[in-house]
Amino acid sequence: MKNLLAVLQDWEAVIGLEVHTELTSLNTKMFCSCPVAFGEEPNTLVCPVCLGLPGTLPMPNKAAIESILLAGMATNCSIEQRTMFYRKNYFYPDISSNYQITQGPVAFCMRGWLDLHVTGKAALEREDRLGTSELPKACASEGYATRINITRIHMEEDAGKLIHVGGADGRITGASHSLVDYNRCGTPLIELVTEPDLRTPEEARLFLQSLRQIWLTLGISDCSMEEGSLRCDGNVSLRRRGEVEFGTKTELKNMNSFKNLHDGLAYEICRQADVLESGGCVLQETRHWEPASKHTTSMRVKETADDYRYVPDPNLAPFDLSDDFVASVRTQLPELPDEKRARYVDSFALPYADAVSLAGDVELAAFFDEGVKRPVPLSPPLSPSLAPQALKLANLLLNDVLAYLNASGLTLSKTKLTPQGLMELAQLIAEGTLSSKQGKEVFALMLESGEAPQKIVEQEGMQQVSDAQSLEAIALGILEQFPDKVSEYQAGKTGLLGLFVGQAMKATQGQGNPKLINETFVRLLEGG
Amino acid sequence: MNYPQLSVAAIRDGLLARQFSAQELAKVALDTVKSIDPAIHAYLELCPELAHLAAEKLDAALVAGTELPGLAGVPIAYKDNMNLQGTHTTCASKMLENYQSPYTATCVAKTLEAGALPLGKLNMDEFAFGSSSETSYFGPTLNPWDLKRVPGGSSSGSAAAVAAGLATVTLGSDTGGSIRQPAAFCGVVGFKPSYGVVSRYGVVAFGSSLDQVGALGRSVNDVAATIDAISGLDPLDGTSQALKAVYSQTTQLGVKGMRIGVVTAFMEAVDVEADISTAFTGALAHLEALGAEIVEITLPNAKAALSAYYVIGPSEAFSNMSRFDGIRYGYQNEGASCLDELYEQGRANGFGKETRRRIMLGSYLLSSGAYDTYYYPAQQVRTLITQDYHKAFEKVDALLTPTTARTAFEFGEVADPVSMYLSDIFTIPSNIAGNGGMHVPVGLGKESGLPVGVQITGPQLKDENIFRAAAALESCYPSIARLAPVGSTEGSAL
């Protein structure tokens, strides 16, 4: 099989995604008052309604409707005020009533879009697009922008979970029997469907990442791909470059990480190219991505469309959402990652890549915003612009803090760091009171004790010697000690500067401000 | 004092006057069922413990002198599609033969809160699919007026029990006439409220947009007291309505000044039995004599109601019946080798013929292609019929029609399902439009010797109009027999 980049030279991949998100932030299920939770004992979070017992009726969860409206507003969808629930009828033991309550032709959210900025290595899968569209000015690296249209976002209830016993890997093949856990049954779920506008696995990955960042910013879900609260299926087909007609698509399942989404689609694209180039036909089928062996296997071939006998659910009156209700939901809309990114670039002159990373992490961004909002008054006073401190704070968050979080497995709120404390550290470094090395030491002590950096600096006597007069005195003393070297330097051997600086650092026990020492020597030696 | 003759009000008076205790009443009521029910098979299950428990509470309240609730001491029984914790909910099906609900339906719970004494669960057509009780898996209920005849359906036991004195009032459900038609066949008052007046929570669904819970009794006042107890907004039913009518206060208002509509064209289109049309003209004359204004109106689309009903009903039923798959509860066929076989065999053997027919019909009607040909137009017809009613009720306050075209038929007499479906022609339009309707008995037919009566229909959510007219009409027939002559009433003395 050819590799992906080679395949994409000849073929254009057409990809659409279906993204399911469980609204895990809600207190209760979609149509009953059972709690929404993961990992509880099987069948303990159930009631007659979500068990579909005879005579029960669904009552819609208002908070879930608010969540889906937020999701639609954040992805530029039009909000449909008149919509209704339908029943999708099919028999399977994980759905307790043998129909899923979902939406019909009109969903709460229709016709949205997201713009993707594909840069760096991610852009290579679509070399032909490099430079074809304008990226934000601040974005220095090469790439392209592309708009992905969203068909709809509809509301539905999740099914329970089948646990297959006796087969390999918990799959149904070879299992002797199956158990059903209805805890998840009735969990509010939103399904977003994109137009077939994605062209590369990287775009798909980027889309899902952007979407996840938006959902997390909205706070509607914990978006855990591992626990299945964010799930993504992909539809993919190939056509020759320049061709208009779509090829036959396959539906790809079990891509439960960003890497699996990318790799699964990449494999499937290569597989389809292989089939087509050897004169075969792609079958319309559902395929399962096997991350371990890195290939896809056929689950079932779709010869005809399934007939789900959709019918309006007579138990749920059609919605006619008031303008006031929609407006009140819109006021809850927080600042979205793209807006945040732009603000970080505009207000703090953060580098574009840093702004993207920071804006894309809800916790780090909140920490950053809190830090720059209330800087602690320090002596010497803040520089007129916050930019250097903010930049340093961003660096600390994206490097030191992130590295610590990854290593410790903690979330930011579980550490002893505070936004004010970290901002204080950023300021001490930015204004030269601490060297970078000292900054790292203070950071380590902050993690341990939770003390404010200023206090740590005092306790440890770490203050950098930044007093120009005392540094000049030290420098003059050193120059007097090494008259030969001074002559050599002045004869052109400027590399000797390191020696002088080293001596000065020694004299200040490593606490001299290296930048200032450097400048002092240059001035003295070159007769400034 | 003979218990079966007591009204809701008389029971209350008797309790307050200490003529009998609730415990004594519960015992006599249960004994009456035990001695008479074998002759008609209205009951599927008795719940003496629950009845005595309720009676005990009531007697304690009497001793304590607290105010008695609305249905204090009223022996009541429920159609077996209503959940009552501690009893089975079989829906008269093999599928649910052993099913016990872990929760109680709102309407049932409200009768208990109102102090009623729950006697047990009543026979019905399987899952309410039928008009005669002949589709019950547990065998039919017999008409107390003539044991060779059907009691009507699907609330067969609910009507027969009241007619035979085996409960003071009963609850039934009505999707296309399932309260009013058996009430007509058994000569009792049967009322289907407007859609949304009574919560459907806990009542096994047939056609969710058509189903409505109602009550049957031997007088309009008894039914009014029952509806007063069970109606109202239910946070568990999104289609229930917030209006809290006090129907028992409207039954004394009289019919003077009310405009009563008649739909001659609709009646002429149907072959109505002589006994029924005599009852109708007699009732109309009485109402006019009492000061009602009779107005001729038209319901041009009502004739299409039956067609729309037999699309919408089975479509919703198909989906509602899906949950009965034998996986979590209900009948499961032994020895299925795979999942599909488990479904197929369980549902083939667990459901009766009529239930399977409706499921297959609904499955076809909702399949792609057929949906646009049948389901969608049926909804349009539904809108037209609803508009017809709206227009009609601009001119009149209530409608008078027959309830059924004929009196109770004999078992086996109507074998063709389509003829059976036609027996609901006068009742179905109000389910389609969501209006309330009541059967009011006016005695026995001269030719048939069987119960006859009329139907009064009201504007949507203005069921008080029905109670006004019905109570006035009822007062014109003071001496008609309210209890069917079945069995011995020896055990029924208090």
Q: Judge whether residue B105 has pLDDT over 80.
A: yes
Q: Terminus-to-terminus CA distance in chain B, angstroms?
A: 5
Range of the domain at B10: 3-299+388-492
Domain boundary among A460, A476, A502: A460
Per-residue confidence at A129, pLDDT binned at 50, 70, 90?
confident
Q: How far is B144 from chain A (nearest CA, A)?
A: 30
| A381-399 average pLDDT score | 78
Residues 6 or more apart in contact with residue A467 via CB below 8 angstroms: none
pLDDT in tens, A258-268: 999 999 999 99
CB atoms A48 and B200 under 8 Å: no
Could you give the CA distance from residue B145 to residue B486 in angstroms, rounded to a whole number? 7
ipTM of the complex, rounded to two decimals: 0.95
Instruction: Count Cβ atoms below 10 Å from residue A10 Cβ, excluding itself.
Output: 13
For chain A, say whether B434 makes contact (Cβ under 8 Å). no
In the numeric block, which tokens belong to residue B386?
A: 């609803």
Could you give the CA distance from residue A434 to residue A429 in angstroms, rounded to a whole number? 5
CB atoms B238 and A89 under 8 Å: no
A391 and A493 in a single domain? The answer is no
Closest CA to B78 of B173, B151, B6, B154: B173
- Residue B242 vs residue A151, higher pLDDT: A151
Asked if B6 and B483 count as a contact pair (C-beta separation under 8 A), the reply is no
A408 and A510 in a single domain? The answer is no
Q: Which of B81, B239, B325 sits opposite A315 (nearest CB)?
A: B239
| B81-94 average pLDDT score | 98
A203 and A246 in a single domain? The answer is yes
In the numeric block, which tokens belong to residue A98?
A: 């043998």
Q: How many domains does chain A have?
A: 3
Domain boundary among A320, A345, A375: A320
Report pLDDT for A476: 87
Residue with tokens 């002797």: A176
Q: Is the dihedral of CA A248, A252, A258, A259 positive or negative?
A: negative
Residue B80 domain-assigned (yes or no): yes
CB atoms B103 and A53 under 8 Å: yes
CB atoms B367 and A309 under 8 Å: yes
For chain B, say whether A309 makes contact (Cβ under 8 Å). yes
Rounded percentage of chain A residues whose pLDDT exceeds 70: 96
Range of the domain at A425: 337-460
For chain A, say whether B328 makes contact (Cβ under 8 Å). yes
Residue A506 domain-assigned (yes or no): yes
Per-residue confidence at A374, pLDDT binned at 50, 70, 90?
low
The chain B residue lying nearest A32, using CA atoms, is B236
Per-residue confidence at A373, pLDDT binned at 50, 70, 90?
confident
Residues 154-193 of A with CB under 8 A from B: 180
Residue A220 domain-assigned (yes or no): yes
Of B13-17, B204-208, B484-488, the poorest mean pLDDT is in: B484-488
pLDDT in tens, A460-486: 777 666 677 778 888 888 888 888 888
**How far, CA to CA in Å, does B216 sit from each of A284, B170, B409, B425, B461?**
57, 5, 20, 20, 19
Phi, psi of B322 (to 5 degrees): -60, -30
Average pLDDT, chain A: 90
Report pLDDT for A126: 87
A364 and A512 in a single domain? The answer is no
Which CATH number is B392's domain given? Answer: 3.90.1300.10
A293 and A185 in a single domain? The answer is yes
Q: How many domains does chain B have?
A: 1
Which CATH number is A480's domain given? Answer: 1.10.10.410
pLDDT in tens, A353-366: 999 999 999 999 99
Could you give the CA distance from residue A308 to residue A331 in angstroms, rounded to a whole number? 37
A310 and A347 in a single domain? The answer is no
pLDDT in tens, B130-152: 999 999 999 999 999 999 999 99
Residue A332 domain-assigned (yes or no): no
Of A327-341, B159-173, B330-344, the poorest mean pLDDT is in: B330-344
Q: Which of B99, B328, B363 sits opposite A309 (nearest CB)?
A: B363
A472 and A456 in a single domain? The answer is no
Report pLDDT for A378: 43
Residues 6 or more apart in contact with residue A52 via CB below 8 angstroms: A95, A96, A97, A98, A185, B323, B328
For chain A, say whether B61 makes contact (Cβ under 8 Å). no
| B11-38 average pLDDT score | 97
CB atoms A55 and B81 under 8 Å: yes
Residue A331 domain-assigned (yes or no): no
Question: Which positions in chain A touch B209 (Cβ < 8 Å)?
Answer: 314
CB atoms A53 and B81 under 8 Å: no
Q: Which of B83, B235, B328 sits opposite A55 (nearest CB)?
A: B83
Residue B475 among the catalytic residues: no
A359 and A424 in a single domain? The answer is yes
Domain boundary among A413, A440, A460: A460
Q: Judge whether residue B357 has pLDDT over 50.
A: yes
Q: Judge whether residue A383 has pLDDT over 60.
A: no
Report pLDDT for B489: 64
CB atoms A311 and B83 under 8 Å: no
Position A176, amino acid: S
Report pLDDT for A382: 42
Residue B79 among the catalytic residues: yes
Report pLDDT for A470: 78
A288: which strand partners?
A253, A297
Could you give the CA distance from residue B39 to residue A173 in angstroms, rounded to a whole number? 56
Per-residue confidence at B493, pLDDT binned at 50, 70, 90?
confident
Could you give the CA distance from residue A220 to residue A228 in angstroms, rounded to a whole number? 15
3-class DSSP assignment, residue A285: strand
pLDDT in tens, B301-355: 998 999 999 999 999 999 999 999 999 999 998 888 889 999 999 999 999 999 9
Residue B95 domain-assigned (yes or no): yes
CB atoms A54 and B236 under 8 Å: no
Of A80-84, A432-436, B156-160, the poorest mean pLDDT is in: A432-436
For chain A, say whether B364 makes contact (Cβ under 8 Å). no
A391 and A410 in a single domain? The answer is yes
Residue B199 domain-assigned (yes or no): yes
Could you give the CA distance from residue A404 to residue B462 in angstroms, rounded to a whole number? 69
Could you give the CA distance from residue A261 to residue B428 in angstroms, rounded to a whole number? 54
Asked if A190 and A74 count as a contact pair (C-beta separation under 8 A), the reply is no
Residue A329 domain-assigned (yes or no): no
For chain A, say whether B99 makes contact (Cβ under 8 Å). yes
Report pLDDT for A304: 67
Q: Which of B105, B207, B363 sits opposite A55 (nearest CB)?
A: B105
- Residue A460 vs residue B228, higher pLDDT: B228
For chain B, say whether A55 makes contact (Cβ under 8 Å). yes
In the numeric block, which tokens belong to residue A393?
A: 């704070």
Asked if A144 and A126 count as a contact pair (C-beta separation under 8 A), the reply is yes
A447 and A496 in a single domain? The answer is no
A365 and A407 in a single domain? The answer is yes
Write the DSSP string, B359-394: HHHHHHHHSTTHIIIIIHHHHHHHHHHHHHHHHHHH
Burial code of B115-153, b = ≥16 C-beta within 10 A, e = fewer?
Answer: bbbbbbbbbbbbbbbbbbbbbbbbebbbbbbbeebbbbb
Q: Which of A53, A96, A98 sits opposite B101 (nearest CB)?
A: A53
A297 and A364 in a single domain? The answer is no
Report pLDDT for A115: 94
- Residue A509 vs residue A317, higher pLDDT: A317
Residue A38 domain-assigned (yes or no): yes
Q: How far is A51 from chain B (nearest CA, A)?
A: 9
Instruction: Count Cβ atoms below 10 Å from residue B449 Cβ, excluding itself.
Output: 12
Residue B308 domain-assigned (yes or no): no
Per-residue confidence at B243, pLDDT binned at 50, 70, 90?
confident
| A252-261 average pLDDT score | 94
Report pLDDT for A379: 38
